[in-house]
Structure 1
Amino acid sequence: MNIQTIYSKRTFIITALSVAGLLSSKKAAAQEPLKQETIDIISTNQPKLRDAYKLNLTASLPGIDTSRPSLKYQVPALNLNFMYQAAPLKPLALGKDSLNALQNNFIKLGYGNYKTPFLQAGFGSGRHDMYNYGLYVNYTGSKGKEIPDQDYSNLNVLASGSYLLPKFQFNGSLGYDRNTVHYYGYNHDTTKYEKKDIEQTFNQLTATVGVQNRPQNDWAFTFQPQVKFILFNDSYKRTENTFLLKVPVRKQVFEDIYIQVEGVFDLSTYKQDNNRAINNNLAAIHPAVDIMKPGFVLHAGVNPTWTNSKFYLLPDIVNESHLIRKKLILSSGWISYFEKNSYRNLANKNPFLAGLPGDMMNTRVEEKYTGIKGTLGSHFNYNTKFASVTWYDMPLFVNDSANTKVFTTRNETMLRAFQLHAEVGYIEEEKFQARVSFDWYNYNKQETEVKPWHLPPFQGDLFVQYTLAKKLHLNADIFALSGSYYLLPNKDFGKTKGAWDLNAGASYDIGRNFNLWVNANNIFNSHYQRWYLYPTYGFNVVGGVMIKF
């Protein structure tokens, strides 16, 4: 019902009332005379709509049914008939040890030109849980044909063993070395010597005792102390006794951090004839920290060293950072150490040395280097290094002005050089491998001597080995050596010629116990001089048989 309808009804009501009033008034007028009437409007009509009724709804989740339903399944039985009947299980017997019996012993015999006998033998104890031992013997010698007195012989005997306990391992060895050479670096046209007058024989007796712990877990510390006694003498009543003690200790403190320290005590006493003894002692402690993370290795330490009544604090820092994982590794370091100039060490470098001077100093070496190394694919590997090297108090070998067939030493107070080292290798399992390497030194400064006597600035090596059908083994070595400066008695100097030296060898396995072998040395037949007035042998070949059992 709208407002208009309401107004219409009200109008109708009012109109009806008016009509009714008029009619009644006419009726009354017939009876009575008309009267005046008035209508008072109290208020104006204001229509209003009724308020709508609103429903208030409250949502709620239905109750949770916690009752467990009872489900029943019926699987129909399926009967299958198999023609195959399984055999009953039976335990198998344990297999035998798959490791083949070791060939613990071998004897290698041979002979070659220059009247060269060759003998090499080794005997071992085999596999044992608590101990092992071995004996090694080596002998060879030659007699020169082109140059009289160009003879030498070499004998080595070594017996070693170890004893294993649950927590410790004890090691020991006893060795004897005898090396005989002759001073043939003289003018054979004008001078003659008896064999006994120019023969030089070095004898060395070495006894070593050591112990090391066997850690039971990755976090245990390791230590490996070792004591060595060395008795060294020659045919000219020169003797040198050495006591060497090394005590290395290493401890893992975190998963990739290690601390280590090594104590070194190297004590030597040299004496010639009835002259006073010369003591040459060196003591050092090497503390360091090793950080080994994937792609990063840092060795940081110092080398406090006492020698020649002086103290030195030397650096020992080495870092390797992988620029490309295992393929490109940046290697750099700053290290310094001492090379002990004992009579034994110098005679091993130059066997024609005539004793030690009374004021011999040990050589301090300092290297600052950087380089890259890594692998290429699964077969190639490489290593390069560029370094600045300084030697302090370095002995240089020169021919004695009064007796040129023997050498004396000159002390170079400081010698500097730039070093370039490079090597590239290729390995294909046990079938083929090759390696080429070289070292080049640019000696650019020396304070005491005019030249770096008898130090070749370049040395190179190419090695190749190939195995055919697992029986034929071939190998070859090519050496390159540059010339070096030497000092003449008149204070003038010269330079030796560079040389190439090719060695090759082959061996063939006959069954499991026999082997035929041959080695050819100096195939280019170059009589180069590593030491002035001492040319090497020409082409020589040695061959023989090896027995393994």
Structure 2
Amino acid sequence: MNMRKIQYILSGITLITLPLGVHAQQQAKDSTVNRTVVVEQEYTPDIPDASKINVLPQVEAPTANKKAVEYDVTLVPANTIPTTVMQAYTGKETQAKTHPGYIRLGYGNYGNLDTRAGYLFTLSDRDRLNLNFRMNGMDGKLDLPDNDGKWNSYYYRTHANMDYVHRFRKADLNVAGNFGLSNFNFLPDAAVRKQKFISGDIHFGVKSTDTELPLRFSAETNLMLYERQYDSGFLNSREYIVRTKALVTGGISDEQTVGIGFAMDNVLYKNNHFENYTSLGLNPHYRLENDDWKIRIGALVDMGFGFGKKFRAAPDVAVEYNFSDSYILYAQAKGGRLQNDFRRLEAFCPYGQVSSQPDATYEQINAAIGFKASPAIGLWLNLYGGYQNLKDDLFFQPADFESTANEYSPMLSIGQWNTSNIYAGAEIRYGYKNIFSFSATGVYRNWDAKDDSQSNAGAYALVYKPAFEADLHIDVHPVSALLLNLGYRHISREKVEGNKVDAVNNLYAGGSYEFFKGISVYARIDNLLNQDYQYYWGYPTEGINFTGGVSFKF
């Protein structure tokens, strides 16, 4: 009976342990696998016929059968992973700071002087002060036209500038000042031997910077002085201008704005016979801008008081249609007043004498139609053509001026005439990263100046007008420290009565190399073809000339 109970107990234990498997569980930070194996033991003794002899039966040695080991492949619950994962470290991106200071010093074979200096003071987050100075010029002997000997020519220009900006929360205040000096001489047989121009101005301006304002504005006042010291017939001829400009615009929808511009010049003269005058200009306009269209419709209305034309008007219209991301059709009709003050006369022809007070040149219309495209990355094209009409356009011509009581000497005189031209042009630009860039432009013009007078002034007005202008420029950056450039400038003149002035042909090359951080050397060579040409009637230019020097950034 006892033996039978033992058999029942062993059988129960065996049945309980049969379904148990072997499990392995991965634990954190443990490179070993712990296994728990439960081995089923089979105990099947062979009991022969029972004997009444009270002895234990023979028991066979137990054997263990091999079982497949099963692992726990249950996914680890998500709540066992930390809720925050450490992010990868990335440094804070900052834009490389530009050097606030710059100095350049250069010299050349014709006494060419090239000096520049500037420094930007960051006074605070809202205040900037920029100081600039430059002086350039030449002093050398030039070959006069028609083998007429040598001319010891000199021409120096000096300019200094101060520009201060304070940023308010919704507007910028700008205060600036400029000083200019031009010092040069005339041809050997001129009535006046030398000339000096002195200019200065003070600028006060304010403009809104908050785009959320219902009305955006800008306004400025400029107090300007200019003196021509040695004009023929006048000494220390002075011009004072109070130039005021303002612009107010307001949005009438997300895509539409209206505005009006205002410009007024109050001009006073001293030490000459010129009349004082006031000019007033108004520019009402409407603008529409969206993804496909940019339209501006306006007018320029100019009025004069005291001297000059009393009333003139010109269109101010521009339309652009973007029919693809990189293809634009455009048209324009522009115009307006070009004030012939002393500053513009110097830029037009510094050697010219003003014997009578010039009226403002008025661009009656400049109408054009064109097409812009970017068919490939880095490539831009611009094709255009149009018509321009200028009233009282400036020109210069040889004239005799009195040098003594009984002698007259040739000089250049500045005059005015009505001109017009039909033009067509093209521009192409290509850039590849910061390694290579290329640009080329060309403009052809067909000029006309109707002249029924006996003075033949209309013909003189066209002699130095450009019939074809072309510019080619290439920049190459083979390495970051080295910059090489090559260019060509061509200007052919209008043919007048079967004759043409020699064309400008300037082939130039240059380069710069930064051999230390912030320190570079540079050089430029002009007129590599050693051509004879003139920018002003009778005044020669330099032959092959070079300028080289060193620049510092700090």
TM range (shorter): 0.7 to 0.9
Instruction: State the Cα distance separating 1:547 from its structure 2 match.
Output: 1.3
Conserved in 2, the CA contact under 8 Å of 1:504 and 1:520? Answer: yes
Superposed, 1:58-457 pairs within 5 Å as: 80-83=26-29, 98-126=94-122, 128-146=124-142, 147-184=150-187, 191=189, 197-215=192-210, 217=212, 220-236=214-230, 237-271=236-270, 273=271, 275-307=272-304, 308-323=308-323, 325-358=324-357, 360-402=359-401, 405-412=410-417, 414-447=418-451, 449-451=457-459, 452-457=462-467
The Cα offsets for residues 346-389 of structure 1, whole Å up to 9 and x where unpaired, read as: 12110011125136343333112111112121111111221111
* Normalised TM-score (structure 2): 0.76
Runs of 4+ in 1 over 6 A off after TM superposition: 84-97
Superposed, 1:3-18 pairs within 5 Å as: none
CA distance in structure 2 between the partners assigned to 1:356 and 1:385 by the alignment = 38
Q: Does 1:547 align with 2:547?
A: no
Q: Does 1:509 align with 2:514?
A: yes
RMSD of the TM alignment (CA)? 2.8
SS at match of 2:354: coil
Instruction: State the Cα distance separating 1:79 from its structure 2 match.
Output: 5.5
Matched to 1:322, the amino acid is N
Q: Does 1:462 align with 2:472?
A: yes
Query: Highest Rg: 1 or 2?
Result: 1
Conserved in 1, the CA contact under 8 Å of 2:513 and 2:521? Answer: yes
Q: 1:330 to 1:99 in 2, by over 3 A?
A: closer
Conserved in 2, the CA contact under 8 Å of 1:270 and 1:343? Answer: no
Q: 1:404 to 1:533 in 2, by over 3 A?
A: farther
| Counterpart for residue 74 of structure 1 | none
CA distance in structure 1 between the partners assigned to 2:90 and 2:445 by the alignment = 62
Conserved in 2, the CA contact under 8 Å of 1:339 and 1:365? Answer: no
The Cα offsets for residues 53-96 of structure 1, whole Å up to 9 and x where unpaired, read as: xxxxxxxxxxxxxxxxxxxxxxxx99642337999988999967
Q: 1:205 to 1:473 in 2, by over 3 A?
A: same
CA distance in structure 2 between the partners assigned to 1:348 and 1:366 by the alignment = 23
Matched to 1:163, the amino acid is H
CA distance in structure 1 between the partners assigned to 2:286 and 2:351 by the alignment = 42
Instruction: State the Cα distance separating 1:128 from its structure 2 match.
Output: 3.6
Q: 1:532 to 1:102 in 2, by over 3 A?
A: closer
Conserved in 2, the CA contact under 8 Å of 1:240 and 1:344? Answer: no
CA distance in structure 2 between the partners assigned to 1:305 and 1:473 by the alignment = 47
Q: 1:102 to 1:425 in 2, by over 3 A?
A: closer
CA distance in structure 2 between the partners assigned to 1:92 and 1:477 by the alignment = 49
The Cα offsets for residues 1-34 of structure 1, whole Å up to 9 and x where unpaired, read as: xxxxxxxxxxxxxxxxxxxxxxxxxxxxxxxxxx
Instruction: State the Cα distance separating 1:515 from its structure 2 match.
Output: 0.7
The Cα offsets for residues 378-434 of structure 1, whole Å up to 9 and x where unpaired, read as: 11111122111111122221111446652213321x322101121111112322111
Instruction: State the Cα distance separating 1:542 from its structure 2 match.
Output: 0.9
In the alignment, structure 2 segments of 5+ residues that lack a partner are 1-22, 32-80, 143-149, 231-235, 402-407
Conserved in 1, the CA contact under 8 Å of 2:258 and 2:286? Answer: yes
Conserved in 2, the CA contact under 8 Å of 1:416 and 1:446? Answer: no
Instruction: State the Cα distance separating 1:527 from its structure 2 match.
Output: 2.2
* Normalised TM-score (structure 1): 0.77
Conserved in 1, the CA contact under 8 Å of 2:100 and 2:121? Answer: yes
CA distance in structure 2 between the partners assigned to 1:493 and 1:361 by the alignment = 31
| Counterpart for residue 31 of structure 1 | none
SS at match of 1:398: strand
CA distance in structure 2 between the partners assigned to 1:279 and 1:78 by the alignment = 105
CA distance in structure 1 between the partners assigned to 2:330 and 2:549 by the alignment = 44
CA distance in structure 2 between the partners assigned to 1:360 and 1:250 by the alignment = 31
In the alignment, structure 1 segments of 5+ residues that lack a partner are 1-76, 487-491
Matched to 1:441, the amino acid is R
CA distance in structure 2 between the partners assigned to 1:89 and 1:440 by the alignment = 67
Conserved in 1, the CA contact under 8 Å of 2:490 and 2:506? Answer: yes
Instruction: State the Cα distance separating 1:474 from its structure 2 match.
Output: 0.9
Matched to 1:224, the amino acid is S
Conserved in 1, the CA contact under 8 Å of 2:331 and 2:368? Answer: yes
CA distance in structure 2 between the partners assigned to 1:355 and 1:99 by the alignment = 52
Conserved in 2, the CA contact under 8 Å of 1:104 and 1:123? Answer: yes
The Cα offsets for residues 152-204 of structure 1, whole Å up to 9 and x where unpaired, read as: 111111111111111221111111111112112x5xxxx599xxx51111111
SS at match of 2:493: coil
Conserved in 2, the CA contact under 8 Å of 1:341 and 1:363? Answer: no
CA distance in structure 1 between the partners assigned to 2:371 and 2:95 by the alignment = 41
Matched to 2:412, the amino acid is F
Conserved in 2, the CA contact under 8 Å of 1:302 and 1:316? Answer: yes
Conserved in 2, the CA contact under 8 Å of 1:343 and 1:355? Answer: no
Instruction: State the Cα distance separating 1:469 from its structure 2 match.
Output: 1.4
Q: 1:263 to 1:159 in 2, by over 3 A?
A: same
| Counterpart for residue 64 of structure 1 | none
| Counterpart for residue 55 of structure 2 | none
Matched to 1:468, the amino acid is P
